[in-house]
């Protein structure tokens, strides 16, 4: 086993990702496996609706087309595939794959992993008083979907039985890669450090090109977006790995890029709770190992939790959006008055028809830096988009709202245009409901390959994982002369979402900046900076391995996902806003960074 490397390509970061990644990786000659991540919380509810309309649907149909395109390459090169494309109907997905394989004369073995659907327990969970793990809301009266995040063991078992393609339902995103590594290296279910390292491999790969320069803070330095390379992890049996990309592709693989992805959508980096392990990424070391090659070491782990995280979705009312472009002097003011007039007019109509008021409304003037709130510098914008979002319990009321957008183009502000998208349509609000469910309340996950069907035992008595308390490094006081500079000169940053929470990972450009960030970038200051957007507390976690910090912002996304009316319901812009925040830097240090490439006017 010494010296063995397993090479995994991250071929898809979400349902709808470019097919370029899979083809590029398969033909690179540098991968043994392809991992495809398709599922997000809201995706599950969409797949449930598709299955309700057609029992043969409910999976990521794009995946079947990609496999068809790759069939000759994966067969000739011996590449194996693991994908959560099964959604809520892994059997239908596998059947579609077999159909294209048979048509091509292929004998690929296709396995499915099932056991994540817990919707059958809904009535029992409701009667037991199960509440949402973040908001403490009661269990919904009717759910669209409820799926436990299964772990990597059934994937490893399927590969051990000779599967060429493993199709799962809902598993933890990181489990796709971890299952491969458990199979290849024979890692046991209680080798916590190995499992944490394998989970980090999966976490780095799960978002596709975000590990190769996509969404990087210094976007100007990332070459050839059109041909951006997708990530490859070259994994060793000790848990270390190198991230790279196919030769001749665009993109960029540097420690900063990988550190951004490591903290993406993570809360406490010392306790990243997964079904297989409680991972600690806080001491991970990330080092350049050659051009577009980054070595990652130092993940550690503790026992897995005794419960699965379950994500349920349910419909909670209706929403609609209207948009108009407004051009000219004081475009911001004209657009805002337009939105207010539409709301006033429609409320009058509601009263006349005995309809209730809106549950919630949201006005954003795009182009006037509405999301920046008090930090906006867009006074005098002469071209904006009025975006008006509304919620109501009755879709009839939103039909009225939809009809009253177009008249504004001829009735209100001069310079109003851009109503080219047609009348907006009311759509259901799909809300996420997350909770914990003891593993022993579910049957073991099931694997089917060919005519063989078997269960995969899951270790469930492993609660009590605790991370030793680490004393926080002392804040180094400074009373000398300081200069205010934007945070972007000191740090890289990336933000993401988990339900209604946002996280912002901040990584210093130089180790010398860590002490400044620790002193200046406090949780309280970040909370104050985002006070116009964030309703909950802000927590700061240190990440000593990269000298950085991770911030968790609670109740930050106005519901998040499809439950939010905001233009940025997933918090993608939070890091970009924070990077513009002024930070007090010692004058001598400021002189050394004034001309860095990250300097912005």
Q: What's the pLDDT tens digit per position in 351-409? A: 999 999 999 999 999 999 999 999 999 888 999 999 999 999 999 999 999 999 999 99
Instruction: Report pLDDT for 477.
Output: 87
Q: Which of 157-161, 407-411, 492-496 bottoms out in mean pLDDT, i.e. has the lowest?
A: 407-411
Residue 313, C-beta contacts closer than 8 angstroms, at least 6 positions apart: 41, 42, 44, 45, 48, 143, 144, 145, 146, 430, 431, 432, 433
pLDDT in tens, 236-246: 999 999 999 99
CATH of 482-593, one of 3.30.390, 3.30.1360, 3.40.30, 3.40.50: 3.30.1360
Q: What's the rounded mean pLDDT across residues 399-422?
A: 89
Q: Please report which confidence band the pLDDT of residue 601 belongs to, taking 50, 70 and 90 as the band edges.
A: very low
**How far apart, in whole angstroms, are the C-alpha atoms of residue 150 and residue 130?**
20
Domain topology for 315-431 = Alpha-Beta Plaits (3.30.70)
**How far apart, in whole angstroms, are the C-alpha atoms of residue 401 and residue 404?**
5
Choice between 421 and 352, residue whose per-residue pLDDT is larger? 352
What is the 3-state secondary structure of 65-128?
A: HHHHHHHHHHHHHCCEEEECCCCCCHHHHHHHHHHHHHHCCCCCCEEEEECCECHHHHHHHHHC
Pick the closest to residue 45 from 147, 116, 125, 118 (CA basis): 147
Q: What's the rounded mean pLDDT across residues 176-202?
A: 97
**How far apart, in whole angstroms, are the C-alpha atoms of residue 363 and residue 361?**
7
Reading the block at residue 207, the tokens are 């978002």
Q: Are 320 and 389 in contact (CB under 8 A)?
A: yes
Q: Please report which confidence band the pLDDT of residue 600 belongs to, taking 50, 70 and 90 as the band edges.
A: very low
Q: Are 568 and 509 in contact (CB under 8 A)?
A: no
The end-to-end CA distance of the chain, in Å, is 53
**How far apart, in whole angstroms, are the C-alpha atoms of residue 234 and residue 317?**
47
Q: What's the rounded mean pLDDT across residues 46-57?
A: 90
Query: Crossing angle of helices 153-160/175-185, nearest 10°?
Result: 50
Same fold, 315-431 and 482-593: no
Reading the block at residue 363, the tokens are 């006005």
Q: Are 174 and 8 in contact (CB under 8 A)?
A: no
Pick the closest to residue 446 from 244, 232, 157, 210 (CA basis): 157
pLDDT in tens, 127-156: 999 999 988 999 999 999 999 999 999 999
**How far apart, in whole angstroms, are the C-alpha atoms of residue 23 and residue 29?**
11
Query: Crossing angle of helices 90-103/61-77, nearest 10°?
Result: 50
**How far apart, in whole angstroms, are the C-alpha atoms of residue 559 and residue 566?**
9
- Domain parsing of the chain, residue ranges: 5-115+150-304, 315-431, 482-593
């Amino acid at each position: 086993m010494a010296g063995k490397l397993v090479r995994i390509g991250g071929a898809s970061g979400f349902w709808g990702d470019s097919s370029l990644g899979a083809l590029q990786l398969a033909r690179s000659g540098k991968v043994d496996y392809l991992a495809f991540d398709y599922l997000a919380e809201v995706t599950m509810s969409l797949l449930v609706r598709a299955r309700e309309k057609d029992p043969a649907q409910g999976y990521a149909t794009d995946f079947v087309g990609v496999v068809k395109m790759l069939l000759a390459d994966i067969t000739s090169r011996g590449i194996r595939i693991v994908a959560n494309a099964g959604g809520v109907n892994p059997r239908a997905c596998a059947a579609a794959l077999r159909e294209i394989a048979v048509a091509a004369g292929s004998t690929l073995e296709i396995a499915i992993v099932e056991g994540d659907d817990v919707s059958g327990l809904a009535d029992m969970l409701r009667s037991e008083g199960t509440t949402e793990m973040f908001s403490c809301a009661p269990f919904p009266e009717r759910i669209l979907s409820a799926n436990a995040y299964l772990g990597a063991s059934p994937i490893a078992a399927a590969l051990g039985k000779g599967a060429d393609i493993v199709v799962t339902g809902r598993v933890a995103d990181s489990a796709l890669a971890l299952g491969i590594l458990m199979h290849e290296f024979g890692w046991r279910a209680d080798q916590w450090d190995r499992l944490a390292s394998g989970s980090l491999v999966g976490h780095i790969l799960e978002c596709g090109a975000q590990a190769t320069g996509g969404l990087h803070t210094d976007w100007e330095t990332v070459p050839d977006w059109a041909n951006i390379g997708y990530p490859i992890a070259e994994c060793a049996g000790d848990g270390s790995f190198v991230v790279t990309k196919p030769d001749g592709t665009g993109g960029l693989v540097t420690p900063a890029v990988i550190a951004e992805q490591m903290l993406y959508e993570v809360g406490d980096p010392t306790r990243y709770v997964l079904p297989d392990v409680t991972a600690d990424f806080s001491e991970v070391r990330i080092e350049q190992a050659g051009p577009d090659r980054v070595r990652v070491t130092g993940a550690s782990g503790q026992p897995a939790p005794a419960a699965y995280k379950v994500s349920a979705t349910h419909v909670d009312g209706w929403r609609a959006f209207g948009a108009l472009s407004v051009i000219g002097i004081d475009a911001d003011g004209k657009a805002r008055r337009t939105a207010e007039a539409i709301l006033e007019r429609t409320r009058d109509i509601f009263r006349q028809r005995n309809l209730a008021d809106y549950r919630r409304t949201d006005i954003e003037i795009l182009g006037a830096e509405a999301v920046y709130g008090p930090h906006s510098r867009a006074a005098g914008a002469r071209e904006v988009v009025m975006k008006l979002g509304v919620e109501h319990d009755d879709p009839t009321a939103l039909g009225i709202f939809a009809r009253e957008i177009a008249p504004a183009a001829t009735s209100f502000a001069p310079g109003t245009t851009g109503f080219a998208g047609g009348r907006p349509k009311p759509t259901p609000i799909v809300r996420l409901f997350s909770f914990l469910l003891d593993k022993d309340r579910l049957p073991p996950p099931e694997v089917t390959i060919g005519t063989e069907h078997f269960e995969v035992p899951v270790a469930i008595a492993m609660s009590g994982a605790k991370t030793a308390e680490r004393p926080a490094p002392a804040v180094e006081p400074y009373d000398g002369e300081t200069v205010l500079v934007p945070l972007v000169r000191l740090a890289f940053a990336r933000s993401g979402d988990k339900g209604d929470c946002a996280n912002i990972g901040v990584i210093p450009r130089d180790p010398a900046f860590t002490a400044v960030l620790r002193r200046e970038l406090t949780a309280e200051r970040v909370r104050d900076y985002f006070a116009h957007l964030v309703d909950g507390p802000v927590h700061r976690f240190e990440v000593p391995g990269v000298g950085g910090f991770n911030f968790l912002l609670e109740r930050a996304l106005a519901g998040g996902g499809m439950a939010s009316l905001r233009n940025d319901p997933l918090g993608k812009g939070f890091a970009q806003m924070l990077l513009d925040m002024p930070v007090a830097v010692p004058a001598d240090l400021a002189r050394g960074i004034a001309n860095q490439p990250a300097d912005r006017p």
